[in-house]
Structure 1
Amino acid sequence: MKYKIIILFLLITASCTNKKEEIKIENELSGNELSISNQQFINENMKLGKVVSHNFLKTITTNGLIEVPPNNVANISSYKNGYVNNVAVLVGDYVKKGDILVNLSSPEYISLQEEFLEKSAKLSFLEKDFNRKKQLFQDNLISKKNYLKVENDYKSTLINVNGLTEKLKLLNINIANLKSGKIASFIPIQATISGYISEINITKGSYVTSATKMIEIINTDHIHIELKVFEKDVMDVKKGQQILFKVPESSNKTFKAKITVVGNTIKNNRTVKVHAHIEEEGLKFIAGMFIEAEIIVDSKTSLSLPNSSIYKENDSTYILVLKEKNKDNYIFKKLPIKLGLKDDEFSEVLGIKDIEAKNILIAGNYML
């Protein structure tokens, strides 16, 4: 029984001692000053720093797409209906202007060439007859009526031949070869611009008309971004402003662009189109990529601190300013502050006298 009383007394004494120590620590942490040992300062990777001048940006958040100018996109079709004889490219291939993409065949192509040869032969005869009758008319050896009839036949046939020549050129048929008697059994469809094949809508044997979009080519040499800006923000958007944008599905890297055109028409979704030129060259963007963007419409440089140095306690905001450093401890003082502008990294500090001279705990405070 005696031993039990002694043990109970020791437990009560130890408990009272621990409570006193806890109260002492609690009071120390809840005051305006905080003492941190040198070892803790090192272990927690704490760091002192001063306020810095930081440029805060006023931005408009928007989104859009990577696009190319209309002249850098080509939809390849045929001027005449026909059947696909061969497809010479695949999606992703790079082609140069004039490269053969598709061969088409049709009896109509052959008939057109035959008509050209017949009209050309007739024109040759009529030209000689016209020149002969013209001389006879000048010598008053034939009537004006006969001369005008020959002239009319010659000129109308000449018009027909010239028209057929242009039609055949549109079909990429070699006129010189045709005049030598070589009738082409198919017509080559050529690339109208240099670029990458982005779309193929045909296969061998497909029947195509002049309205059929067979192939799409995109030239990415002059790629740009197209943004949608809501009408409430568009008054702040101007040509020449810088844009910071990301392609969220492929990278976290931020790219730069500059506004070149601000639209003057509001679409049904209450937005205005804004076009911008990408400043960096050689980037491997693909037309149609979705982007997230910030348009910088204004900026302000002011004294600021890293967000990691800002503490919030209840409704108060404060920082820890170094008051004293001795051989064992860093002693900090809590200093209430008011904040202004803020971004992902820094906060503007307002209304503190001589803050530039103060050493402030800016890192390693997450354990406090």
Structure 2
Amino acid sequence: MNKKAPIYITLLSSLLLWNCSKDPKSETATEATTEKVVDIVHVSEAQAKNVQLPVGDFEQTIVGEEVTANGKVEVPPQQMISVSVPIAGFVKRIDLLPGTPVRKGQVLAVVQSMEYVQLQQEYLQALSKQKFQEQDLSRQETLNQENVGSKKKLQQIDAEYQTGKAMINGLEEKLKLIGCNIAKLKAGTITPSINVISPINGVTKMVYVNIGKNIAPTDVMMELVSREHMHLELNVFEKDANKVQVGQTLLLENPRLANKPLTGKVILVGQTIEGPTKAILVHGHLDNEVLEQKLVVGQYVNTKILTGKKAVQTLPEDAVVRRGEGGLIFVKLKTNSYQQIPVKLGITENGMVEIILEKTLPSKEIVKANASVLQAMLAGGEGEE
């Protein structure tokens, strides 16, 4: 029994120390820091006369149902051009920077190539040889008609002539691909320089070469983008995919271009779910082509696609105080006493705001005007303590 006594004494001492360490003042301070949420405002008789606070129930309004679709400004693949030269050489001149406008037919760069010179030389040699073969073939045909020449030799000369002709045609097509002026070449003018020509009107997206750089036929020198067929490439989530159809109206908010949303049309709806976001690709065009041209390829856009109509409960805009993506409304509890209620906001159309309730209202008498006045009074400390 005496051996166990120290254990009990130790436990008792620990309990006493713990109780003494508790500070009643700290508990009081913790309770004091818990703020009471003030959401009721009282209006005096004088204020009630000056501020019109009509009350009533929600209104049922038919509004356009919409789907949010984010994406970017893009161009079709055929409007994105990778520029290269089909022969090896080195860059002699280039004056482009990313973003530089270009015109169709404009010289973008100059490339010099020893292989190009060799190709022109072979073409002129083949032309010269063909003239000799043509004359030789004509002589052999004459001799054959007089039964003097050999048919075997005629066939051999004709085969050589046809081979030379095929070589000339092949070399000529290669030179045309490079951009050679065949008429000048036939006149004897050989040039070591290749002019790299722009095939479109547009802008320079990227430049990958500099003066003096050696390039191969597989190297991309620059990328060009045509702005003639820009469109919106949007992502619509899987849950909304079956709501979107070709021809539906889309709205694009861009304060830089206009004070109100720009309208457009859905032109193509993807048929497969893409990527980890589980979304379908939707393509659209703006109705105003002039403003569409002011968009920038790759620019992020936020749009809404109008997919139909639905009946919702709404209040006038003056009955709602907006707070970020949500808002506040007020309901009348008793004479000159109003409670603030947080709500979610949906579509705004023709001055009416869709109200999505997060909880049951304490009253059906909803303030339908001057909600901002009540909120200002509440923020100014005139609420219930």
- TM-score over 0.5 for the pair: yes
Partner of residue 292 from structure 1, selected from 285, 298, 302: 302
Tell me, in whole angstroms, the C-alpha distance in 1 between the residues paired with 2:356 and 2:147. 106
- Cα contact 1:75–1:216 (8 A) shared by 2: yes
**What is the SS of the residue equivalent to 1:117?**
helix
241-250 or 207-216, which deviates more: 241-250
- Cα contact 1:319–1:361 (8 A) shared by 2: no
Structure 2 counterpart of 1:177: 184
123-132 or 61-70, which deviates more: 123-132
* Residue 206 (structure 2) pairs with residue 199 (structure 1): yes
Letter in 2 for 1:279: D
Structure 2 counterpart of 1:8: none
Runs of at least 4 residues off by over 6 Å: 47-53, 248-252, 331-335
Residue 57 of structure 1 deviates from its aligned partner by 2.9
Residue 264 of structure 1 deviates from its aligned partner by 1.9
Tell me, in whole angstroms, the C-alpha distance in 1 between the residues paired with 2:206 and 2:47. 67
- Cα contact 2:107–2:197 (8 A) shared by 1: yes
Residue 268 of structure 1 deviates from its aligned partner by 3.4
Tell me, in whole angstroms, the C-alpha distance in 2 between the residues paired with 1:138 and 1:247. 84
Q: 1:250–1:279: structure 2 CA closer, same or farther, 3 Å change rule? A: closer
Residue 204 of structure 1 deviates from its aligned partner by 0.3
Residue 308 of structure 1 deviates from its aligned partner by 3.8
Residue 347 of structure 1 deviates from its aligned partner by 3.0
State how 1:1-368 maps to structure 2 within 5 Å: 35=45, 37=47, 40-41=50-51, 56-246=63-253, 254-269=261-276, 270-283=278-291, 284-300=294-310, 304-309=314-319, 342-344=346-348, 346-347=353-354, 360-362=368-370, 364-366=373-375, 367=377
Letter in 1 for 2:149: I
TM-score, length-normalised on structure 2? 0.70
Residue 88 of structure 1 deviates from its aligned partner by 3.3
- Cα contact 1:54–1:302 (8 A) shared by 2: yes
Letter in 1 for 2:290: G
Q: 1:203–1:359: structure 2 CA closer, same or farther, 3 Å change rule? A: closer
Letter in 2 for 1:277: H
Q: 1:243–1:76: structure 2 CA closer, same or farther, 3 Å change rule? A: same
**What is the SS of the residue equivalent to 1:98?**
coil
Structure 2 counterpart of 1:353: none
TM-score, length-normalised on structure 1? 0.73
Deviation readout 1:66-87 (Å, 9 max, x if unpaired): 0011121111111011100000
- Cα contact 1:172–1:188 (8 A) shared by 2: yes
Q: 1:340–1:190: structure 2 CA closer, same or farther, 3 Å change rule? A: closer
- Cα contact 1:245–1:294 (8 A) shared by 2: yes
Residue 334 of structure 1 deviates from its aligned partner by 8.1
Structure 1 counterpart of 2:10: none
> Which sections of structure 2, spanning at least 5 residues, go unmatched?
1-40, 322-327, 358-365, 379-385
Tell me, in whole angstroms, the C-alpha distance in 1 between the residues paired with 2:320 and 2:254. 31
Aligned Cα RMSD in Å? 3.9
